[in-house]
Amino acid sequence: MTTTGHFKTVAGTLTTGFRMDIASIPSNYSRLIGRELGLQVRDLPTLLAHTSLTSDQFTQEDTYLTAAQQIQIIANGLALSPHADFGLRLGQRLTPSTHGAMGILASTSQNLLMALQAFQTFLPTRMSFAQLSLTETARELHCHIRFTVALSDAVYRVLSETFAVVFFECAEFIIGRPLHEAEAHFCHQQPSYAASYSRYLSGSYTFSAPQLCMKVPLASCHISNASANRDSYALAMQHCEKMLAELNAHEHSMVYQVQKIMLSHPLGGFSEADAAAALFMSKRTLARRLADEGTGFRPLRDALLAQQASEYLRQTTLSVETIATLLNYHDSANFRRAFKRWHGMSPHAYRLMATP
């Protein structure tokens, strides 16, 4: 990150394949940041520092932001706010109506589970660099939130707090009462204002967790929503599906095509020549097309290998040697070296860190 005056430019390194330059994030979220800060039009240039946006563009309802612009505005807002609990306060402003058709879809769902499934599917239409994944255990639903760009610690904390408050607000609207039985697990360390969390989150919460995760009993997920409306749900679903289709049109990049092919082959033995042949082009043409999109075959392959390796370590009890074999590493020592290059630690240390 580079510092310029009071603000920092925070456009982090992206997860390979993610497009930071596609303007798909509605600007109403950032305008809410302005309202939270009590800004007037004359103050907007400070909020928009390092985004290339003008005040006129920002105040238009049909303006969309890139991921880099959205992240920068969050960082600027945090720098301007006199409140340490800025992320929590911002989350409280994000009512279901601020999420457009996705918010309507969630709030008219039959129950919390269906609402969360709506968020999981259509979150990219509202916040393109955030992903929600849902995992059921025997008694709980685990809602994992990850961001597909590198963020400063401060921005990560703000986003984590905002998402947690949105989760509780949405859940409590649907089940009709405070969600005391839910848990919020934050990756960041306990902040100095931790006592403020109880004013925004009705459930329990922990810090320094291996993953950002909300946990809620399955029984609570199936409580009927008194505001469920079949017609409104169907209309909102149509709108969300249309927006997602439009967003996915951007994914027909060479990076997207190569990643899709990689995911259908054993990665360890899949070469650049194999990818080029599958796409009916020369290896040189493939390299040029990927270079035009700011990457190359090896970074893409390594990113997917790193992801698969971490998932095996988190979600299974397979030995490191077995995981190395599954990823086509014939020498587990080579796999260990590669894993340390990807994640900055050994597979054993990573598994210890990721195990609750």
Where helices occur in the chain by DSSP H, the ranges are 28-37, 44-47, 55-58, 67-80, 86-93, 100-107, 112-122, 153-175, 197-200, 218-221, 230-248, 254-263, 272-278, 283-292, 297-315, 320-326, 332-343, 347-354
Q: Which two tokens stand for residue 8?
A: 């920092």
Note the pLDDT of residue 7: 44
Tally the C-alpha atoms within 13 A of residue 246's C-alpha that lie toward its C-beta. 12
Residues 6+ apart with CB under 8 A from 297: 258, 272, 275, 286, 287, 290
What gap in Å lies between CA 231 and CA 309, rounded to an integer? 44
* Full pLDDT tens readout for the chain, 356 residues: 333 334 444 433 333 344 555 788 999 999 999 999 999 999 999 999 999 999 999 998 888 898 999 999 999 999 999 999 999 999 999 988 889 999 999 999 999 999 999 999 999 889 989 999 999 999 999 999 999 888 999 999 999 999 999 999 999 999 999 999 999 999 999 999 999 999 999 999 999 998 899 999 999 999 999 999 999 999 899 989 988 877 776 556 788 778 777 776 666 667 899 888 877 889 999 999 898 888 899 888 888 888 888 888 887 788 899 888 888 888 889 999 999 998 889 999 988 887 65
Residue 340 DSSP class: H
Q: Which two tokens stand for residue 121?
A: 């599917």
C-alpha dihedral (90, 120, 10, 43), degrees to nearest 10: -30
Note the pLDDT of residue 23: 80
Nearest Cα residue to 219 out of 164, 140, 136, 119 = 140
Q: Maximum Cα–Cα distance for the chain, whole Å?
A: 62
**Residue appearing with tokens 């009512």:** 95
| Ordered DSSP codes for 169-199 | HHHHHHHTS--TT-EEE-SSPPPTTGGGHHH
Crossing angle of the two packed helices 67-80 and 86-93, in degrees rounded to 10: 120
What gap in Å lies between CA 28 and CA 331, rounded to an integer? 52
Q: Is 207 within 8 Å of 152 (Cβ atoms)?
A: no
Q: How far apart are the first and last CA of the chain?
A: 31
Q: Is 186 within 8 Å of 164 (Cβ atoms)?
A: yes
User: Of 3.30.56.10, 2.60.120.10, 1.10.150.530, 1.10.10.60, which CATH number belongs to 252-354?
Assistant: 1.10.10.60
| Ordered DSSP codes for 276-290 | HHHTTS-HHHHHHHH
Residues 6+ apart with CB under 8 A from 123: 102, 130, 131, 132
Domain with CATH 1.10.10.60 in the chain: 252-354
